[in-house]
Amino acid sequence: MKTYSKSDLMRLAIEEHLKCEEFPRVGVVISKSGKILATGFRGETKGVHAERVAIRKLTKDKLYGATVFTTLEPCIELHEGQEVESCAQLLIDSGVDEVVIGVLDPNGTIYSQGFRKLLENNINVSFFNRKLRQAVEEETFEFGDVHKVYGCGKRRIPVVYSGTEIKVQFSQKDERSIDIKWSTLQSIHGCVDLHSSGGAIRIASGARNFGDVSDPTVFRFPSHCERLEKDMIAIVKPNNSTFYVLIQLIDIFENDIIFKWEVRNDK
């Protein structure tokens, strides 16, 4: 049986996650002493997470002391009475010695909690190298890099600790961009702060959808930071920018938000 280096096993886990036909993509390789024991990817068995797919292929004896390479942070229990145990708990109960993670899950409900749960249960945790983490980031989520968006769309992002910075690029071919940052999420009050540089943000007061905004300059009181509540629309246009971004807060949760955006050339 061939012996692989740790970097090789990371790459093989990425090869597994590229087999996924659904997002987020997740691939797993289980090894011991550099030898592959099992692999798995999300969707290989319908409705079953990649870690569970791979673990089911092995006996408890083979799993004991093994190292698991997973491209995405293992999930945790999201509510009491959950019928299926989380992947983090499954790994803990399996007797594996180490888990090597590609990227932490950007879902604010999970972010860093799977990582912490493993550590709290004496599982050694390490991460893919920086170059391979970037490759995982670009291929794991439906929209690629969680810190860059293009054109128009909708996504769910975590807003934790110091906040989440995002570069809004006009398109994949047009590299003009505007930087925004979400911070100070207060789910109990139903609001979150949107930042951009130098008085770039205006609230489109009264607008209910993007089609209601025909000219961003009709809205007064530009600021570098605006507090948004659900359904509010903000216009982000820094000085000298040749385009602007419409942003609407769609929903708000304890640790993350859903927002949509649309870029428009400045007339």
Indicate which residues carry an active-site annotation.
51
110, 88 Cβ separation under 8 angstroms = no
Q: Where does 118-169 show beta strands of DSSP type E? A: 124-127, 148-150, 152-158, 164-169
- Residues forming a β-bridge with 229: 191
b/e map 41-76, b = 16+ CB within 10 Å: bbbbeeeebbbbbbbeebeeeebeebbbbbbbbbbb
DSSP strand pairing (201-203 vs 225-229): unpaired
Two tokens, residue 66: 């093994």
d(CA 214, CA 267): 10
Instruction: Please calculate the CA angle 10-13-16 and round it to the nearest 5 degrees.
Output: 155
d(CA 32, CA 44): 22
Instruction: Please calculate the CA angle 86-105-251 and round it to the nearest 5 degrees.
Output: 100
Which of 44, 39, 42 lies closest to 74, judged by CA? 42
- According to DSSP, residue 211 is labeled G
